[in-house]
Amino acid sequence: MAATTSLTIDDFERLPADAVQQRELVDGELIDVSGNTPRHNKIRDRLLSRLMAWAEAQAAGEVISEQEYDFLGNAHGPDVSFFGPEKQVLLDLDKRVQRFVPDLAIEVASASDTYDSLLRKKERYRRAGTTEVWLISAENAEIAIYGPDRDRILRAGDTLSSEVLPGFAIAVNDLFRGL
């Protein structure tokens, strides 16, 4: 029986782009992550555009989609992430995996995601130091927010806001409109 070798973040970084496309590094192994549907992408892109406009207007930090970070030796690329000005100096424009974690990580559930896998990812993000994690279900039109002081679930009629993003708000209905 052949021994398996666990990959590190540095190993992952050295792999060619086609070897890591639609893959994350989890517990030393490359794990396939599904391609996204238009519904998934529209939710991600709505959030991305609104958050980018807010961040620019407030000079609040950086908003990036699909950027990989080092979450305790695991490389994950949240659908959308935000980090404040104090972390902007850490951003390495030439590295695939950033060696810090974002302040906010947003995951839009894909068809291949299980509830348990999303919760494991959320826990890993939080243990690594991410202040807040949003898990978004297009199917249920819900947003679960896991924050430093409390967790909450938002639905139609609610407004999405966060202490991590002072002054940012979007109606949940607007996020899911037409989907």
Tokens for 124, please give them.
């890993």
pLDDT of residue 21: 82
Average of per-residue pLDDT across 98-127: 94
Average of per-residue pLDDT across 38-56: 96
What does the alpha-carbon distance between residue 126 and residue 104 come to, in Å, rounded to a whole number? 10
Tokens for 5, please give them.
């070798």
CB 69 within 8 A of CB 97: yes
Quick one: fold of 37-176? tt1808, chain A (3.90.1570)
Provide the percentage of residues in the chain whose pLDDT is more than 70.
Answer: 97
Q: How sure is the predictor about 132, in pLDDT bands with cuts at 50, 70 and 90?
A: very high
Q: By C-alpha distance, which of 63, 68, 65 is closest to 85?
A: 63
Does the pLDDT at position 1 exceed 50? Answer: no
What does the alpha-carbon distance between residue 23 and residue 56 come to, in Å, rounded to a whole number? 30
Does the pLDDT at position 18 exceed 90? Answer: no
Q: For 50-73, how does the pLDDT look when each residue is reduced to its tens digit (9 = 90+)?
A: 999 999 999 999 999 999 999 999
